[in-house]
Amino acid sequence: MAVFKHGYQRYDGPLTGPVTRFLAVPRYAWPKLLAERFVLVLLLVSLFWPLLCAIFIYLSNHASLLPNLNGGGEAIQKLLRIDGNFFATFMNIQSTFAILLAAIAGPGLIAPDLANNALPLYFSRPVSLGQYIGARLLVLFGLLSLVTLLPGLFVFGLQASLAGSAWLAANWPLGQGMVTGFLLYILLVSLVALTCSAYVKWRVVAGALVLGFFFVLAGAAQIVNQVFHVEWGSLLSPGYTVYTLWCALLGVETAADAPGAGECLAAVLVLLGALLAVLLRRLRPVEVVA
Amino acid sequence: MNQIAIIARLEIRRAFFSRRALWVYLLALFPAALFLGRGVSVNYDRREYAAKPATPAVVLDRLPVGTTDAAALAAAGPPLRDHTWKRAQTTHRSLHYFDGSNRVWLQFENGALKNTRRLPLNSFDQDLRVYAGVFQYFYLRLAVFFGCLGIFINLFRGEMIDKSLHYWFLAPVRREILVLGKYCAGLIAAAAIFGGGALLSFGALLSYQTAADVEPYLRMDALAHGFWYVLAAVLGCAGYGSVFLAAGLVLRNPIIPAIVMLLWESINGFLPELLQKLSVLHYLQSLCPVPAPIDPSAPPLARMILSPAAPSSVWAALLGLVALTALVLWAATRTARRLEINYGTE
């Protein structure tokens, strides 16, 4: 039979399971990312603050060990209290590392596929657009969890174990709030990183865009507030809006005249929607042949 | 020199007119757009409040903290705006008055007066301080920084990603000349965009002030202030540009030095005085004519730690920036001489 008469035949061999297929990307991406020296350095540096917090928790639960603190002033007792403010500060600092990690790891996830026209290779396999984006998000979720969720759970668990079940029963919402807040933040940072990666094909520029997105918008929000003597400018800053949501989840009071949790939630949802729309627009699995 | 000029001329078009330059223009023009918007808002407010009834300032000043909202309404009369909202079991109410020259907000919590906020329709002195803050905290620290990152990294790293650097290396021109030519192109573009942006925003700030405020300022300080702001922006482009050009030459991922530098410049105010002087920003801020205000709403601990080093003298600042730029460029030219292209790793 002539070769040209073979034509196209659909593959009808055994398929891997949907979960295995979904996990294929993270399985290869994680070791590659962890092999990068700067990612490792960042991961190590990001553990410094949780370590300090762990020491602080130990001290606050053993205040009697400290000299001159027994029955100390109310200010010191307040300072040593592990409450929503403590977790809000903890989350705020760890979130900076999440942005830096996303700027390093995120751009390499989609930009090379677009730059090398590799999308058709993915989508010619039984992988949907949602699975493709989900797998990429999972890569970042795993990486960012190492600097946000895991240290957070460690710190919360340490406090719960030292302070006893009464503290845990009374402060259970703090743990819930922290996990929910970090999950929301990871989703936001990951989507920003993926969208930047899809928007510009150069990894370097995409990394700069991720950094710029958070830092420049935070600065822009501040100057809008300063120039117009308003407070709503803060809604432009993704960092501020997420922090306000964290405060609401942890029961921490924020400035009365600044935008509240409702407005911030709306701003975050609009931002997430816009990022997803840009991502879907850029990741159309079609190839235009001129 | 001729070769440098030719290379710069060839490169400059890319720096000015590429699609990526759009972001740089947005960053540079954002403060100018804000101050233009502020001008529109101030002019609108002037017309709007001229027609509104004024409540004597003495009546509003007489209300002590803790006054009930009902008592305040009885004393001051109906407000221009009345806004009530609830947050975390607390009911907030804001009554807005105008005393003839200031807008006044009486802020209540659970029906008791908590504070009185007074804001003039426009204050030139305050606007000058706001501009200093915008210029030093946003323009130099973020806009010039990220703009230079975009422009200067593109010069070499961009060519490597486009796999076109070897064309330059095949030309009969020394590598040092190539580096200097590309740097000049980047610097001219960045200086024009960010220097122009600084001048435009300064002009926008002056455009909506009253003649009584702005005329003495124009006679006395305006030219000098405008000159120093533009010079600071241009020198910022020169300093950051040289660092990012070198980073683009040396490293495959120049984002890493950019992150390190961004963090270093961000924590600058918290560092000891000696370390503060090891940053581009310190010298740029030393050139600025008006010191940047420290945010009064910042936590007391942050304000305590945030102690800006005494500004360097103008000559020390100029010399420091030029020396840093020259040193980094010298290192970049040395690196370029040994550079081997390996597009496969990009």
Residues B33 and B153 in one domain: yes
B268 with B302, same domain? Answer: yes
Of the segments A4-13, A92-101, A104-113, which one has the largest average pLDDT value?
A92-101
Compare CB distances from A204 to B119, B142, B153 and report the shortest one's residue: B153
Across the range A145-166, mean pLDDT stands at 92
What are the chain B neighbours of A222 within 8 Å (beta carbons)?
137-138
**pLDDT at position A49 over 70:** yes
Q: Using only the alpha carbons of chain A, give its radius of gyration.
A: 23
At B254 the pLDDT is 79
Residue A249 contacts residue A177 (beta carbons within 8 Å):
yes
Task: Give the domain extent around A102.
Answer: 17-63+73-282
Domain limit, last residue, from B104, B120, B136:
B120
Residue A70 pLDDT more than 90? no
Which stretches of chain B drop beneath a pLDDT of 70? 88, 294-309, 344-346
Please tell me the total count of domains within chain A. Answer: 1
DSSP string, chain A: --GGGS------SPPPPHHHHHHHHHHHHHHHHHTSHHHHHHHHHHTHHHHHHHHHHHHHHTGGGSTT-TT--HHHHHHT--SHHHHHHHHHHHHHHHHHHHHHHTHHHHHHHHHTT-HHHHHTSS--HHHHHHHHHHHHHHHHHTTTHHHHHHHHHHHHHHH-HHHHHHHHHHHHHHHHHHHHHHHHHHHHHHHHHHH-S-HHHHHHHHHHHHHHHHHHHHHHHHHHT-SGGGGG-HHHHHHHHHHHHHT----TTS--HHHHHHHHHHHHHHHHHHHHHHT-------
Tell me which chain A residue has its CA closest to the CA of residue B152.
Answer: A205
Which residues constitute the domain of residue B178? 2-42+123-345
Same domain, B139 and B228: yes
Q: Is A261 a domain residue?
A: yes
Residue A5 covered by a domain: no
pLDDT digits (tens, 9 = 90+) for B192-216: 999 999 999 999 999 988 888 888 8
Query: Which of B31, B88, B255 has its CB closest to that of A208?
Result: B255
More confident residue, B264 or A151: A151
Looking up tokens 């992150």, which residue turns up?
A: B259
Percent of chain A with pLDDT over 70: 91
Query: Do the interacting molecules here have an ipTM over 0.90?
Result: no
The answer to the question of residue A8 being in a domain is: no
Helix (H, G, I), strand (E, B), or coil: what is residue B33? Answer: helix
Would residue A245 count as lying in a domain? yes
In a shared domain, residues B116 and B139:
no
**How far away is chain B from the Cα of A207, in angstroms, using its nearest Cα?**
6
Helix (H), strand (E) counts: chain B: 17, 4
Q: According to the model, what pLDDT value does residue B231 have?
A: 93
B285 and B192 in a single domain? The answer is yes
- Predicted confidence band of residue A43 (pLDDT cuts 50, 70, 90): very high
A68 domain-assigned:
no
- Position B34 scores a pLDDT of 93
The predicted pLDDT at position B330 comes to: 92
List of chain A residues whose C-beta atoms are within 8 Å of the C-beta of residue B155: none
The mean pLDDT of A241-264, rounded to a whole number, is 87
Name the residue type at position A65: L
Please tell me which residue of chain B has the smallest CA distance to A219.
B138
pLDDT digits (tens, 9 = 90+) for B121-173: 888 888 899 999 999 889 998 999 999 988 888 888 878 877 888 888 888 88
Of B120, B140, B164, which closes a domain? Answer: B120
Specify the CATH number for the domain of residue B67. 3.30.1450.10
A253 and B37 within 8 Å at the Cβ level: the answer is: no
Interface test with A, best of B30, B119, B256, B266 (most A CBs within 10 A): B256
Domain final position from B87, B105, B120: B120
B66 and B177 share a domain?
Answer: no
Is A208's CB within 8 Å of B27's CB?
no
Pairing state of beta strands B102-109 and B90-98?
antiparallel
Q: Which of B108, B68, B67, B103 is nearest to B84 (CA)?
A: B108
> Residue B346: its pLDDT value, please?
53
Closest CA relative to residue A249, chosen from A50, A56, A141, A87: A87
Could you tell me if B162 lies within 8 Å of chain A, comparing CB atoms? no
B108 and B193 both lie in a single domain: no
Decide if A79 is inside a domain: yes
Query: Is A289 inside a domain boundary?
Result: no
- Give mean pLDDT, residues A172-200: 93
Number of domains comprising chain B: 2
Domain assignment present for A290: no
pLDDT at A66 over 70: no
Would you call B259 and A104 a contact, using CB atoms and an 8 Å cutoff?
yes
Torsion of CA A208, A210, A216, A217, to 10 degrees: 160
Mean of pLDDT values over A134-160: 94
Question: Would the pLDDT of A104 be above 60?
Answer: yes
pLDDT surpasses 70 at A261? yes
CA dist., res. A88 & res. A156, Å (int): 12
The reported pLDDT for the residue numbered B143 is 92
How many Å lie between the alpha carbon of B68 and the closest alpha carbon of chain A?
18
